[in-house]
Amino acid sequence: MSVFPQSTVLGYPRIGPRRELKRALESYWDGRSGRAELERTGAELRARTWRRLAELGLEGLPSNTFSLYDQVLDTAVMLGAVPERYRAAEDPYFAMARGTEGLAPLRMTKWFDTNYHYIVPEIGPRTVFKLDAGKPLGEVREARALGFETRPVVVGPVTFLLLGSALDRLEEVLGCYAELLAALAAEGVAWVQLDEPALVADRTPEELAAVRDAYERLGALSERPGLFVASYFGDLGEALPVLAATPVEALGVDLVRGGVPEIDLTGKTVVAGVVSGRDVWRTPPERALAALGAIRASRVTVSTSCSLLHVPYDVEAESGLDPALKERLAFAEQKAAEVVALARGDVRGVPVSLPSEAAPAPVAAEGRGPYAVRAAAQGDRLRLPPLPITTIGSFPQTGELRAARAAAAAGTLPQQDYERRVEAEIERVIRLQERLGLDVLVHGEPERNDMVQYFAEHLDGFAVTANGWVQSYGSRCTRPPLLYGDVSRPAPITVRWARYAQSLTDKPVKGMLTGPVTIVAWSFVRDDLPLRDVVFQVADAVREEVRDLEAAGVPIVQVDEPALRELLPLRRAAQGGYLEWAVAAYRRATSGAGDRTQIHTHLCYSDADEILAAIDALDADVTTIESARSGARILGAVDAFERGLGPGVYDIHSPRVPSAEEVEDLLRRTLRVLPAERVWINPDCGLKTRTYEQVEASLANVVAATRRLRAEL
Ligand code: GLN
Ligand code: ZN
């Protein structure tokens, strides 16, 4: 067995430094270019990554970390898990990823505790596993033609099957992996990386037995490359001794999120993830060196804690950042260079960020008055009809508006002109809602590019990047803000727009804010303070904004927390502690409001039974939640809710306009489980991604259905 390279990364961004893949994909999907052009862009991006990593001095180059859409989907295709209904599609791969005219796409969900979304494998009784090793072999050959030997990266069998809820199919799938290993060995591949991040969450004894069986069996094969099983996003826990007892030659451990393995790993190579793939900060060398030195193994090599997929490409592409901040940053390129420097023992010149001495966050339970008192005061003030109709906040963002914002940012459109455009858009949205007959109006959020970035741009302690794109799913990227210092609010942020919107109408208008957990979850966050303390700083800024909205006469304030579940720790033992401070932060942000001010919150999912109690503990007067998209499953679990609740009646993820009958049916089902006086009527989520035409028709049907039911009350 050849020795494992001294330095490596577990994976690399693939969207392209200038989002070249995004453009190529969208052009292919729109029929503006052909398959060959898309393939060419992919090949260029792969070549560029291998060249760059080799130039930086990295010894172990990964391959097959590129994907046209998603690496889990690639694995499903490699194993033949393509559901029958997609096989006849013109392009089955993208049909599974995105759907076609007549076919819904496969389900998509978040990759562990990241903001990356993968395609959930659909494995059923009719799935016949059959290996197609074309992609991993193709990339090995492609790299070799450029002069690079690579280590193919594949999602491991246990994680793949757990993601597809089909661990009972292990035998069959292992047959495919055995064939894959033989094919790679025949190709002269020295090492293969099998990613098993599912092993850092709690696993049952049966699941651990599956891990043992899988790697005993693959390890026993005579025709195979060296086996490198990579774990990331936390500690292996009980899976560590299980893996250590198998013939696997190399184990990858995340030493940023997790600790140094406590057991002796003599006989193994430990691929030590000391450079974080989840943040954008330079690695303090002494921390990395201490971790490396504490591992007991036959060989220790240096790596990233996980794939660099979750960070942007290159700090050098940022010209607008404060040099003092830029100094502290490392994106994918810089992180790969850090791995090389650590492996060579050449770590001089890496500045160390010193932990700052911030005051500990307040932990006292924050609370408002009793709900019954608040409900009565709000009822008197708002005088809403039964089954009040509202929306989640955003209205369609038109191309003109985006162009105007870009022009204002570039300085080619005077700020005043831009603000007048925003006001015109607010007026249009208010008039539309009045015409449709909605009860609680919104201003439509036309001034916001994004619900987190907008606040980051207006709070101290944040910076935003020009090119710091990170893939969210498929061709979609986000540019997470950098939360690098103490957070504070220099001036009111949303008050002028809320006040303007309220001045246009006699109906109540909701002020619209993003909650502290979500602002932090969708940013890159400083690592010199506990996350909880950072969230509390943001909560204090939001609290000031809530108070200012209230003082401006805004009767309802919505504080969105769509990311509450995303930060939930992967291990159950840590979840209770997290939920406790997350809820406390939300209450801190909202509890400054008086009884007469109605607090709304919004969450974008409903399969949240595990955290339903926490959502309830947020103590919002009204909670709006996704429901229509998931077939109203939430209705089985909402009887515990004692305050206002709006299970969505319109799936905004689809361009489809729901009929009034469909909406009415959903409403009747809701009224069977919730008393009418607590039910709110709303879409599943914001309307930003829809067109005005779709929104107008859909909301008209929502209003018609609601009116029919009101007449029966
Ligand atoms: N208020 C936001 C909107 O309507 C909420 C978005 C979200 O939940 N992700 O766009
Ligand atoms: Zn939402």
Q: Which residues are catalytic?
A: 653
602 lines ligand 1 (CB under 6 A): yes
560 lines ligand 1 (CB under 6 A): yes
Q: What is the pLDDT of residue 609?
A: 65
What average pLDDT does this structure show over 641-664? 93
521 lines ligand 1 (CB under 6 A): no
468 lines ligand 1 (CB under 6 A): no
What atom of ligand 1 comes closest to residue 562's alpha carbon? 8
Q: What is the pLDDT of residue 365?
A: 56
Closest CA to 158 of 197, 184, 132: 197
Q: What is the pLDDT of residue 352?
A: 45
Ligand nearest to the CA of 684: 2
* pLDDT tens-digit readout, 427-441: 999 999 999 999 999
Q: What is the pLDDT of residue 349?
A: 46
Q: What is the pLDDT of residue 505?
A: 98
What atom of ligand 1 comes closest to residue 602's alpha carbon? 8
476 is an annotated ligand-binding site residue: yes
Closest CA to 309 of 661, 7, 644, 49: 49
Report the distance separating Cα 625 and Cα 689, nearest Å.
18
Report the distance separating Cα 312 and Cα 462, nearest Å.
17
**For the chain, what are the domain ranges?**
20-343, 372-396+436-712
Q: What is the DSSP string of 443-460?
A: -B-TT-SSTTHHHHHHSE
Q: What is the pLDDT of residue 605?
A: 74
Q: How far does Cα 20 stand from its chain's mean position?
A: 21
User: How far apart are the two ends of the chain, measured CA to CA in Å?
Assistant: 76
394 lines ligand 1 (CB under 6 A): yes
Ligand nearest to the CA of 689: 1
Closest CA to 647 of 602, 712, 709: 602
Q: Do domains 20-343 and 372-396+436-712 have the same CATH topology?
A: yes
Q: What is the pLDDT of residue 634?
A: 81
Report the distance separating Cα 612 and Cα 580, nearest Å.
13
- Look up the CATH number of domain 372-396+436-712: 3.20.20.210
Q: How far is the CA of 272 from the centre of ligand 2 (A)?
A: 38
* pLDDT tens-digit readout, 554-604: 999 999 999 999 899 999 999 999 999 999 999 999 999 999 999 999 998
Question: Does pLDDT of 445 surpass 70?
Answer: yes
Question: Does pLDDT of 350 surpass 50?
Answer: no
Amino acid, single-letter form, for residue 642: E
Site to probe by mutation for ligand 1, drawn from 440, 565, 602 as the one with most ligand atoms within 8 Å of Cβ, is 602
Residue nearest to atom 3 of ligand 1 (CA): 686
Residues recorded for the chain: 713
Q: What is the pLDDT of residue 495?
A: 98
513 lines ligand 1 (CB under 6 A): no
What average pLDDT does this structure show over 14-22? 97
Report the distance separating Cα 3 and Cα 271, nearest Å.
12
What average pLDDT does this structure show over 297-323? 97
562 lines ligand 1 (CB under 6 A): yes
Ligand nearest to the CA of 392: 1
DSSP SS3 for 299? strand
Report the distance separating Cα 480 and Cα 585, nearest Å.
21
654 is an annotated ligand-binding site residue: no
Q: What percent of the chain has pLDDT over 90?
A: 90
477 is an annotated ligand-binding site residue: yes
Identify the DSSP state of 643.
S
Report the distance separating Cα 532 and Cα 552, nearest Å.
30
Report the distance separating Cα 123 and Cα 102, nearest Å.
21
Residue nearest to atom 9 of ligand 1 (CA): 562
392 is an annotated ligand-binding site residue: yes
Burial environment of residue 355 by CB neighbours within 10 A (0 to 12, 13 to 18, 19 or more): exposed
115 is an annotated ligand-binding site residue: yes
What average pLDDT does this structure show over 491-511? 98
Q: How far is the CA of 486 from the centre of ligand 2 (A)?
A: 28
Comparing 706 with 359, which gets the higher pLDDT? 706
- Tell me the CATH class for 20-343: alpha beta
Confidence of residue 354 (pLDDT cuts 50, 70, 90): very low
Neighbouring residues of the ion ligand 2, judged by CB less than 5 Å:
562, 604, 685
Q: What is the pLDDT of residue 610?
A: 67
Question: Does pLDDT of 1 surpass 90?
Answer: no
Q: How far is the CA of 238 from the centre of ligand 1 (A)?
A: 39
604 lines ligand 1 (CB under 6 A): yes
Helices 660-673 and 692-712 cross at an angle (nearest 10°) of: 50
Report the distance separating Cα 119 and Cα 160, nearest Å.
11
Residue nearest to atom 5 of ligand 1 (CA): 686
Closest CA to 155 of 168, 136, 140: 136
Question: Does pLDDT of 444 surpass 90?
Answer: yes
Closest CA to 105 of 124, 91, 115, 125: 91
Cβ proximity of 371 and 678 under 8 Å: no
Q: How far is the CA of 114 from the centre of ligand 1 (A)?
A: 19
Q: What is the pLDDT of residue 198?
A: 98
When the pLDDT of each residue in the chain is averaged and rounded to a whole number, the result is: 95
DSSP SS3 for 548? helix
Report the distance separating Cα 694 and Cα 646, nearest Å.
21
Residue nearest to atom 6 of ligand 1 (CA): 686
Cβ proximity of 385 and 709 under 8 Å: no
Q: What percent of the chain has pLDDT over 70?
A: 97
Q: How far is the CA of 601 from the centre of ligand 2 (A)?
A: 10
469 is an annotated ligand-binding site residue: no
What average pLDDT does this structure show over 35-39? 97
Q: Starting from the edge strand earliest in sequence, which strands make up the sheet with 61-63, in order?
A: 61-63, 150-155, 191-195, 226-230, 250-254, 265-275, 297-304
In which residue are the tokens 């193919």 written? 152
* pLDDT tens-digit readout, 238-272: 999 999 999 999 999 999 999 999 999 999 999 99
Cβ proximity of 335 and 311 under 8 Å: yes
